[in-house]
Amino acid sequence: MAEIIVPELAESITEGTIAQWLKKPGDTVEKGEFIVELETDKVNVEVISEEAGVVQEHLAAEGDTVQVGQVIAIVGAGSGAPAATPAAPVEAAAPAPAAPAPVVAVEEDASTSDRTIASPAARKMAREKGIDLAAVSPVDPMGRVRVQDVEAHGTAPKAQPAAVAPAASVVAQDDGRVTREKMTRRRQTIAKRLLEVKQSTAMLTTFNEIDMTNVMALRSRKKDQFFEQNDVRLGFMSFFTKAVVAALKKYPYVNAEIDGDEIILKNFFDIGVAISTDGGLVVPNVVDADRKNFAEIEGTIVELAKKARDNKLTMADMTGGSFTITNGGVFGSLMSTPIMNGTQVGILGMHTIQRRPVAIGDNIEIRPMMYVALSYDHRVIDGKDSVGFLKMVKELIENPEDLLLGS
């Protein structure tokens, strides 16, 4: 008999949600075969069976929260036939204990701060203020608690009870006109992270518009040759990624983050690309974008998008980004104010291309125009740098030959 145990998922991840059982009680499983899919804050992980045999029992149901190290299934010896007998009692036993057990485990885990990843400065402040680090909600996507998270924690508790109270009255008045569904773990994480960024940063957005005439003409001339040579299509994302990298090199504080009373300037250029999936928005990274050519950037984005939609992204794909690009234009957005990603201090928002009249010298011409937005943390970036950064991106896209020469 073998136990299926939730494995170590990542340094800062201590729990997950059972997304799907790939093997039911009574099914035969081979050694090394996937038995269950777990959903974590960032990625989905498939867990294998270490032994061959028959699945005898599920100790947690789909949708349950489970902890690292928790036993979630039992695999016994035999082939598919003997499983008919253990399958019947499982159905009777499963409903009662499955749901409450993970909830208790979460509460017990939350009371221990020794497993919380935190900076030394954050630990010191928490000790001085008597704050349990496990109760602090970090902005860092990897769960690392920083000084600003501890500072923000003091104001958070009073705001939450007020929000919870009305929910009870809504339940009482529910007359069938609404449908309630439990948020997925990923959606809960997205909601929490975005709210934390809004509450813990001095976020501001500056706008500009780009004449896309030249870059569209260049792309139209080169796209067939580019595809033949590289087996990947030439899109606008590679141009914007190249422009962003060049602007980050000139304005290094846009490629930074805050840790306590220190600013960390990043000497690498891992550009996050926001990708929409059925499970929510994910932001994998084009690592070392400054060292990649146009074809490598386009190929990496295509690969990451496929992995995102197939739930195959790894933690390595999702962590370590220094700046993010999001393109609401694929959904028709004309203008927006994107929210920064995690501890980053800047995000570029692209939007739909729209033909509209523009003054060119003394003449009015119809040009393909795109609004762009830079949301940034005003604690780190001053208006001069934010405007200069966005203006440089604009100039490089409007003169794409400069990007080609630079690469």
Question: SS3 of 406, please?
Answer: helix
pLDDT at position 86 is 44
Q: Which positions ≥6 away from 405 have C-beta within 8 Å?
A: none
Please state, for a pLDDT cut of 70, what percent of the chain lies above it: 80
Given the residues 153, 378, 385, 402, select the one marked as catalytic. Answer: 378
For this structure, is 382 an active site residue? yes
The residues with which 53 forms a beta bridge, in sequence order, are: 29
Give 256 or 68, the one with higher predicted confidence. 256
Q: What is the pLDDT of residues 37-77, one digit of tens each?
A: 887 766 777 888 888 888 888 988 888 888 888 888 888 87
Using CA atoms, how far apart are residues 374 and 393, in angstroms rounded to an integer? 10
pLDDT at position 120 is 60
Stated pTM of the model: 0.64
Q: Which positions ≥6 away from 58 have C-beta within 8 Å?
A: 21, 24, 25, 72, 73, 90, 94, 98
Give 255 or 130, the one with higher predicted confidence. 255
Look up residue 145 and give its DSSP letter.
B
Q: What is the pLDDT of residues 187-224, one digit of tens each?
A: 888 888 889 898 999 999 999 999 999 999 999 999 99
Q: What is the pLDDT of residues 10-48, one digit of tens each?
A: 655 777 888 889 888 888 888 888 888 887 766 777 888
Give how far the C-alpha of residue 328 lies from the chain's centroid of Cα atoms, to the nearest Å.
16
Question: SS3 of 255, please?
Answer: coil
Section 161-165 average pLDDT: 47
pLDDT greater than 70 at residue 165: no
pLDDT at position 81 is 44
Using CA atoms, how far apart are residues 330 and 275, in angstroms rounded to an integer? 11
Residue 182: band (very low, low, confident or very high) from pLDDT cuts 50, 70, 90: confident
Give 48 or 172, the one with higher predicted confidence. 48
pLDDT greater than 70 at residue 99: no
Other beta carbons within 10 Å of 402: 15
pLDDT at position 115 is 55
Using CA atoms, how far apart are residues 338 and 299, in angstroms rounded to an integer? 25
Given the residues 174, 224, 310, 382, select the one marked as catalytic. Answer: 382
Output Rg (C-alpha) for the chain, integer angstroms: 25
pLDDT greater than 60 at residue 100: no
Mean pLDDT score of the chain: 82
Residue 112: band (very low, low, confident or very high) from pLDDT cuts 50, 70, 90: very low
Contact 26, 83 (CB under 8 A): yes
